[in-house]
A and B are shown apart, each in its own frame.
Chain A
Amino acid sequence: MSWQDLGKEFQKLRREFRGSLPAKLKRLRSLWERVDCEAPDADALDILKRELHTMAGSGGSFGLPQVSKAAAAAEDALAGLKGGSRPGAKRSAKFGALLDRLEKA
């Protein structure tokens, strides 16, 4: 594989990564619905945090720093929220807005 091929492969991976984002975002929203409800799911919160963390780590490596930034902000917004606890209205609104920002990134 030449360096030119590597560049092409990178672009292909970048497209793949970008293409995977809508499904990932859908999953994040679905997880959030399981957290922001009458009976909050502690496992869903753990998975949500981990997936946001992963997205924050990978976005920039694929040349999409705005994805990293939005995912990191969303992860940060969950800090201090305990598994099984329902997020307050303020946190809920903030997190929802951050997911919207992630969608636009």
Chain B
Amino acid sequence: MDEKHVYALTPKGTRELKSAATSLTALELKLLVLIDGQSTVGRIVKVFSPQPKAELIDALHKLKQNGFLADAGGEDGEGDGSIEATGFFTRPVFPESKEAGAAAASQSDETLQLLRKNGYVARIAKRAAEERKLAKGEKVHVLVIEDDEHLAKLLRMFLVMHEFVPRMAANRDGITSALRLAPKPDVALLDVTLPDIDGFEVLLRMKQHPVLKTMPVIVMTAKATREAVLKGLACGADGYITKPFDVDVISHAVKSVLGLK
């Protein structure tokens, strides 16, 4: 494959990234996020260094074969450097100005600047490989790691309404205490901006822990930059939801990563 080759997302690829659930692997997702109709294969491969190049090229081929990508400039592609081609940043939190929109459409670097500046919403959660059915009376335990007391209250209330069992933590000690309680939570909602520890570090530790590593973790953050989303996925997040959010999105994501209907 020519390193100067450029791919664009197809409508199918765009839909996959905008959907709240996906069956793609973490690597495929990360690649899809980077496909913007302007970046060359060589540039994308560099981002993944030291990941084996052959593995990346195979994944790109597979994405193309499955209709998620097309050659940039082709009739099937959507990539013109516009915001819509930038993956699962599905809509701006705040309406962008006309001038900003025009600038973003003209150059990919400016698009990235705009994403950084305005913030974009990412709502993505992996779909569990197998469907799970709850036994009669069985409840799903959700660990909520959120330091904003008002948002924590809102999440607790909403989870209770949906018959989940919330367990709250707001800082490092709270997380440790909550994880010591039985049963092990089925899923964690993790705010990455915490007062005394970096949430990404919490995520990494969970994903390296022999018992906790199988627990799906959905990251909740106001960090909506492409880099932040990639960091979350690279750290092993099973879902990534940017704030502010509608609480319904949380329920959908929790059910998706657990395979619940």
Contact = CB atoms under 8 A, between A and B. Distances in A.
A91 interface: no
A60 B244 contact: yes
Interface in B152-187: 153-154, 157-158, 160-161
A57 B222 contact: yes
Contact of A57 (B151, B160, B161): B151
B94 A57 contact: no
Contacts of B160: 1
Which secondary structure dominates where chain A touches chain B?
A: helix
A17 B150 contact: yes
B24 interface: no
B148 A57 contact: yes
B151 A58 contact: yes
A89 interface: no
By size class, the interface of chain B is: 20 to 34
A30 to B, nearest CB: 17
B94 A65 contact: yes
Contacts of A1: 157, 160-161
A27 interface: no
Interface in A44-89: 50, 53-54, 56-62, 65, 68-69, 72, 76
A3 B147 CA distance: 26
A17 B161 CA distance: 20
Interface stretch (A6-14, A32-40, A95-103): A6-14
A69 B94 contact: yes
Contacts of A13: 150, 153-154, 157
Contacts of A58: 148, 150-151, 243-244
A54 B93 contact: no
By size class, the interface of chain A is: 20 to 34
Contacts of B119: 56, 72
A71 B159 CA distance: 27
Given A10-B154, A17-B150, A62-B154, A54 B193 contact: yes
A57 B244 contact: yes
Nearest to A66: B94
A76 to B, nearest CB: 7
Given A6-B161, A54-B148, A68 B153 contact: no
Nearest to B157: A9
Contacts of A61: 151, 154, 243-247
17 contacts: A6-B158, A13-B153, A17-B150, A20-B150, A50-B195, A53-B193, A56-B119, A56-B222, A57-B193, A57-B244, A58-B150, A60-B243, A61-B151, A61-B243, A61-B247, A65-B244, A72-B93
Interface of A: 1, 3, 6, 9-10, 13, 16-17, 20, 50, 53-54, 56-62, 65, 68-69, 72, 76
Given A16-B150, A61-B151, 20 more contacts: A1-B161, A6-B161, A9-B157, A10-B157, A17-B150, A20-B150, A50-B193, A53-B223, A56-B244, A57-B148, A57-B221, A60-B245, A61-B246, A61-B247, A65-B94, A68-B93, A68-B94, A72-B119, A72-B222, A76-B117
